[in-house]
Every structure is written in structure tokens, then in C-alpha cells.
Chain A
Amino acid sequence: MEPDVLMASLGPRPAGTLQPALAGAESCTDAEVMLRVKRGDQSAFDFLVRKYRRPLVSFMYRMARNTAAAEDLAQEVFLRVYRSRQTYEASAKFTTWMYRIATNLAVNHARDTRKERPEVTVSLDEPDAETGTTMDVADGTITAEEALVRRERMAAIRGKVEALPERQRLAVIMHKYQQMDYKQIADVLKLSESATKSLLFRAYETLREQLKEFV
């Protein structure tokens, strides 16, 4: 199958919607689902997109400096997964493979945009980067001062995590926010498990020290 059949399967659907479900996918591993993508099953690819779009956007959001870039990068990961479907081998765990693609993209993006101003603002007029809404200080639930303190804490957390050395930052984001275990992180970063443990300990030690005033 391939391009023509996939185009046909993409064609009649309303723009931007994913197929609702993948028959039998619950009992399949991701690697097995990916092998179905390799055989040209578009609904299998939609299943993977639906399953991993949120974790990938969240990973990219913490690696990149703004929400739009995070979405672009997450989409690029899916496109690369799709492009590589013919060469995919089920020998590696799917998430390890996918996060390795994501890591390479994120690191390259971070290097390319190192000098750009990060999307960290302490302003009540601008929309919140997390929620996209403007902070409403008149509703009585939060004072302007509290809002500023909260923004400052957020800026500090982002700033301190971003300031970590590249591998430590990746390890913290995968461990803390992607809930990945030491082995998965070690596989993505191509490190031993013990090296990953000590890398994470050093990273959290630095964060503990630098974020003391906000605790």
C-alpha cells in the first residue's frame, strides 16, 4: 500500500480528525502497532498519534522555548516516525525510538535558538504560557501580588531547568515530567543505568540548591 491508499484513507475524513479507534490495538504493543503502520495501516498511525501527541507536546514544550515551537517539533517527530516506517525494526522499544527522535530534534532546536528570548514573561496583561488565558486579578481568588509571585516562581523553575547541562535537563524532563524510568532514560540517552542515576542525582541536587528560596 502505500501512498495512494494512505491518501485515500486521509481524504474523506474531516480535516484534522483522527480515526476513532484501532481494532485490537489494546492488546498490541506499540512496536506491533508500528509494524502495522509499516504495512500501510493508516489507522495504526493515527492510534500512535492520539496516544503520544500529548506527551510529545509536553516534552517539547519543556525543551523548546514556546508553545508554537513545541507543537511544530512534536508534529515533526510524528512525520519522522512516519517517514521511517519502512525501516522500522521492532527490536527497540517504540517509545525509546520515538523519544530518541524527539531528543535529537529538541536538542538541535535548542542549539539553533539559544540566543532567542525565551517565552517567560512576568506580566499580568499577557496570556499565560500554560493556559493561554490572561490572569484575572479582579475575581478575588488571587491578588495581583500573588499572581506576580506565581509567575516569578514559574520563571525560576523554567530558568533553572533550562540552565542545566543538556543531558541533565533531558534526564530531568524525561524522569520528572514524562514519568520514564532509569532504563528508558538510559536507552534514549545511550548511557548506562548507573550513569543515568548519578546524572539525575546531580541534576536534582543542582535544582534543590538553586530553587531553595522558592520552596
Chain B
Amino acid sequence: MVMKCEEIHEMMPDLASGSVGMTSEIGGHLAGCGACAGKLEEFRQTMALLDEWQAPEPSPYFDVRLQARLREEIAKPQAGWLAWFRRPALAAALTVLMGVGVGLFFSKNRGFYKPNSDEIAKVEPQTQSEPGTAVSDLQALEKNHDLYSDFDLLDDLEVQHDVQANP
């Protein structure tokens, strides 16, 4: 016996269906191995039984329907780059990304963001203007706000009117 039973087993579907011819090697094994010969015969009977299961021919409407579906397919607009937006997962991801982006933009660059005092202190020295410019005058007014307020109070006194009237 040259061939092993396992080798015959693997060939059995093809042997039983007749798609592989009987060789002397296989014949030799089957002549000496009753188990494999018996199994092959049962495989043949099973194959013959399976042949009874016939499939129907395509119906006369098969081609009509296929051509109609094909026409629909061809008539469909070509999917362009906008088709990507029709994918729900992509659309959702894009919406979240846009939301986060817009949120960050407004929080950093618009009025919603309130800097704390440390941040102001860090920024102030860098914004000190050149002396004699309009900006530096405004900064001087801002710094000396209390002093100029006192001057306004003095202006309100009646005595001051006299002084102004009779310098």
C-alpha cells in the first residue's frame, strides 16, 4: 500500500464525482483497504443523491429586470467629492471638528475670554508707549486718575470761582 488513507480521503470528493480519474496507485490502495473502498462507494451514492437537487433556469424576466436595473445605475448621477459628506460617520466627525474649531476660535479671539490679573501684569510692560505720544498721554491720565479727580473737586469750590475771577 503506497498511498495512505488520509490521502485517499482528501481525494474522495473528486473521486466520487468523477472529476479525478482512478490511477493505479489509488486502485491499489482501494483494493487493499476495505474501509476506504466502502467509504468511496457511499460517497458516490451521496453525490448521486445531491445531483437530484436541480436549480431552475433564470426566468424570462431576469434579463428585463437586469437591463432596467442597469439603466437606473447608469442614469444615477456620478458620485463626486460631495458623496463623502453623505457618509454619516464622516459627517458626524466633521461636525464635531468644526464645532471644536469654532469654539476655540471664539474663546481665544473674541470677548468670551477674560484674562486674569497675572496675564494683564505680564502684558502691561510690553505695551508701555513712547513718552510724548498720544497713547502715553492717555496712559498718564489713566495712572493719575485719582489726582485729576481731586482737581475736579477743587474746581467745584466757590472760593475757586473768586480766584478764577480775580486772579
* A→B interface (CB under 8 Å): 3, 6-7, 10, 13, 15-18, 49, 53-54, 57-58, 61-62, 67, 71, 74-75, 78-79, 82-83, 129-132, 153-154, 157-158, 161, 175-177, 179, 181, 194, 197-198, 200-201, 204, 207-208, 211-212, 214-215
Q: Of A10, A53, A181, which one neighbours B70 at CB under 8 angstroms? A: A10
Give Cα distance in the complex from A197 to B14, angstroms: 10
Q: Of A13, A157, A207, which one neighbours B52 at CB under 8 angstroms? A: A157
Q: Does B121 contact A (CB under 8 A)?
A: no
Q: How many A-B residue pairs have CB under 8 A?
A: 119
Contacts A10-B71, A18-B63, A208-B42 hold; do A131 and B50 have CB atoms under 8 A apart?
no
**In contact, A82 and B71 (Cβ under 8 angstroms):** no
Contacts A79-B70, A201-B12 hold; do A16 and B64 have CB atoms under 8 A apart?
yes
User: What 1/0 mask marks residues of chain B from 2 to 17 whose CB sits below 8 Å from any chain A CB?
Assistant: 0000000110110011
Binding stretch for chain A, among B26-34, B53-61, B93-101, B125-133: B53-61
User: What 1/0 mask marks residues of chain B from 56 to 84 whose CB sits below 8 Å from any chain A CB?
Assistant: 11110111111111110111001000000
**In contact, A153 and B55 (Cβ under 8 angstroms):** no
The contact sample of 9 A-B pairs, CB cut-off 8 A, is A3-B78, A7-B75, A13-B67, A18-B63, A53-B63, A75-B69, A79-B70, A204-B13, A215-B45
Chain A neighbourhood of B153, CB < 8 A: none
Q: For chain A, what secondary structure do more than half of its interface residues adopt (helix, strand, loop), or is it mixed? A: helix
**In contact, B58 and A17 (Cβ under 8 angstroms):** no
Give Cα distance in the complex from A153 to B73, angstroms: 42
Query: Given A62-B55, A130-B54, 15 more contacts at CB 8 Å?
Result: A16-B67, A17-B63, A53-B58, A67-B59, A129-B56, A130-B55, A132-B56, A153-B52, A157-B49, A161-B50, A176-B17, A179-B19, A197-B10, A204-B47, A208-B43
Chain B neighbourhood of A61, CB < 8 A: 55-56
Q: Does B136 contact A (CB under 8 A)?
A: no
Q: Of A3, A17, A57, A198, which one neighbours B55 at CB under 8 angstroms? A: A57
Contacts A71-B65, A82-B70 hold; do A176 and B47 have CB atoms under 8 A apart?
yes
